[in-house]
A and B are shown apart, each in its own frame.
Chain A
Amino acid sequence: MIKLIKADLFRLMKGSAVHNVLIAGIAIILLTGITMYNSGSGLLSFGVRSSVSVVSGAPTTGADFVRQMRDDSFFPFFILAFAIAILGADYSAGTIRNTLSYFAGRRSVYIAKCITGVLCCLAYSVSCLVVSMLLGVILFGFGGFSVVYFVRLLGQIVLSLPLFLGMIGIGYCLLVFTRKSSITITAYIVGLLFAPSLTYNLYQIFPAADWLQICDPLSAFSVVSRFWEFPPLTVALMIITWLAIDAAVISIGMHRYETADVV
């Protein structure tokens, strides 16, 4: 399986898709940081911050800037780009034939591609973290950084893993059923936009389960970026929900990948 991951990482390094996503993420941080620095008023017209972050106002310290940049509402969309680059390219180029005619163990291939996807998400997350830290320190100074702060950042990355896996799994699941990147992109984006209303309606049916409201991808990423502000049980239930989503989408996608004829 390591061989498969190594090969996919080699290909992604040679290709442009992952580079472009990284550049886009970093560019957004740079532009947002400069806009924030220049405005100073907290009324920002451009950036990656969620509406909650905007309400919290312009950052006053480097640490505050990094925290706001962690609430990256573009990221769920960028994960789709990783899924398309890793698995979608296999379908669109037809290279899936080369791989599966050699590796009859399709389960290993699928799991390797899931791991590669999560590694890409981690690379993006860490790269953006490093850039936002550098920019935050340059623009807003060293203030706010502490041991607790770094532990929270680490916790945020760890808690993001089920979300990374889930979103990659959803992308792959759509790909193995549709075998078309274009349909996958449409379905994924429509799903992302409609998920909040779905979770809200579920919450209406089960009013006791208020954590359902934060289980849609965009809310979940936002919550994870500042998980310490929420009740631990709520965060735990949201993560458990995402682990269940991971298990469901990966097993459905893998079953399809294993059994489907490659024509």
Chain B
Amino acid sequence: MSTITVTVNGKSYTKEVEGRTLLVHFLRDTLGLTGTHVGCDTSSCGACTIHLDGRAVKSCSMLAAQADGSILTTIEGLAPGGELHPLQVAFNDEHGLQCGFCTPGMIMTAADLLSQNPNPTEREIREGLEGNICRCTGYHNIVRAIQLAAERTAGVPA
């Protein structure tokens, strides 16, 4: 066991974790943040994507211990203060989701993409989301949602 201190969605937690505990299980089982999902065992699907020190990472491919000292954001903390994040609004408006299971990971990856490239082309969006699988929507509306969020936030610093 080791003790880790992480800041998750603005709140600091100090917890005992086993060496083998994956970050995603720490978030879901220890902190109860079940918006971060698990869809595979092979780092393929991206459903577990969160932000670690501001960058999108797959929380199923990291140990909780590796995150010690880091600032984490999950889907639950993407929009502090109750208002929805522009990507959340756009995914809802453009129907960028169906079953919703991949959605938190998609949004977290898209948020990283827009922070690097506020005005991506359709190809850049599709390639930027290559690590996230959606089995329902056929991706079209996901791309549109990200384009819409980019348009709506044009000129607004992230």
A, B: real partners: no
Chain B residues within 8 Å of A, Cβ to Cβ = none
Chain A residues within 8 Å of B, Cβ to Cβ = none
